[in-house]
Structures are given as structure tokens and as C-alpha cells.
Amino acid sequence: MSYKNNLDWREKNRERYLKYKRDWARKKYKENKEFREKINKKERDKYNEDQEYREFKKKLSKKWVENNKERHNKLMKKDYEKNKDKWNLRKTTAYRKKELFNYHNNKCKNCGLLKNLQIHHKTYNITKGIKGYVLTEELKKKTELLCRQCHRELHKK
Ligand SMILES: [Zn+2]
């Protein structure tokens, strides 16, 4: 087939041609790891750099969730089964943080401020945060609650 004929065929069979192209890309995406990574990186970069695109994608995904509630729940459940530890850790990290805030009466130890509170770790080996730790009395005692300003001042010294 000559190039001209090829173009004619494409025009006449546009739907078929597009489907063929889609299937080809889908197959390549599935089978070729390098291609997949390249596409994903391109997508990620665009998402991170282009705010308009980001808004568009967010709107799109929100709409998709609204229209596919059942499917979305199923996918979330599947993801939860697969990454149980991660999900539980996320839940318990927030839970622990709240517990620790309550333990310190939800106010800055230094000036008594009630907002912009941060957890200050008195010992170096728990600077990684309270993630993944069992919140024992001993561990609680190794922390203090400080407002952002006091926390900053403390670390300046
Ligand atoms: Zn303070």
C-alpha cells in the first residue's frame, strides 16, 4: 500500500484506525515497563507543573467517583486489603497524634498557646515522629507540646 492509499484508508476507517492505535498503546503500556514509566513520569510532571491541568484532573476524578461509587468502593477495599499496614498506620498515626495532644492538654507547654501546636521530641531517637511506635507512657514523657513559635525558638538554641 502506498503512503497516499494508507492515508485514504485511515480517513475512511477513522474509528477503526483510532481503536487500533488505542489498543496498540494499551498493549504496549501493559507489556513494556520502560514505556509505562515514561508515560507515568510525563503525566506526573504535567500534573505537578500545570495547575490548570491539576484542577482539571481533580474535577475529573471527583466526577468519576460520583458516577462510579460502587466501583470506587470496591477499588478502595481492594487497595485496603493490599496495603492494610499502610492504611492502618495512617489511621493510627492521626489517632496517636490526637492522644498525644490530649496528654499534653492541647496547649503549648511554654506559653500556653492553644493553636499551631507541634510535637517536640526531647530524645533524638524518636525524632522520626510517633509513626510506627507504640504510644507508651515512657514515650509520651519524651515529648512536649509546643506552639510553632516556641518550637522554633527552642531549636535555634
Ligand atoms: Zn508557645
Q: DSSP class of residue 133?
A: -
Same domain, 102 and 150: yes
81 C-alpha vs ligand 1 centroid, how far in Å?
A: 42
Same domain, 97 and 122: yes
Q: Consecutive sets of 10 residues in the chain, 157 residues long: mean pLDDT of each?
A: 78 88 92 93 92 93 94 92 77 80 95 94 62 70 93 87
How many domains, the chain? 2
101 C-alpha vs ligand 1 centroid, how far in Å?
A: 14
Same domain, 39 and 96: no
102 C-alpha vs ligand 1 centroid, how far in Å?
A: 16
Q: Measured in whole angstroms, how far is the alpha carbon of residue 32 from the centre of its chain?
A: 25
Same domain, 133 and 78: no
79 C-alpha vs ligand 1 centroid, how far in Å?
A: 40
Residue 127 pLDDT: 45
111 C-alpha vs ligand 1 centroid, how far in Å?
A: 4
Chosen domain end from 24, 50, 84: 84
Residue 61 pLDDT: 93
Domain that includes residue 55, residue range? 3-84
Same domain, 151 and 89: yes
Q: What is the pTM of this model?
A: 0.42
Q: DSSP class of residue 110?
A: T
Same domain, 93 and 48: no
Residue 5 pLDDT: 81
What is each CA distance from 45 to 41, 57, 62, in whole angstroms? 6, 13, 21
96 C-alpha vs ligand 1 centroid, how far in Å?
A: 21
Asked if 60 contacts 43 with a C-beta cutoff of 8 angstroms, the reply is no
Same domain, 116 and 148: yes
User: In residues, how long is the chain?
Assistant: 157
Chosen domain end from 84, 115, 142: 84
Residue 124 pLDDT: 61
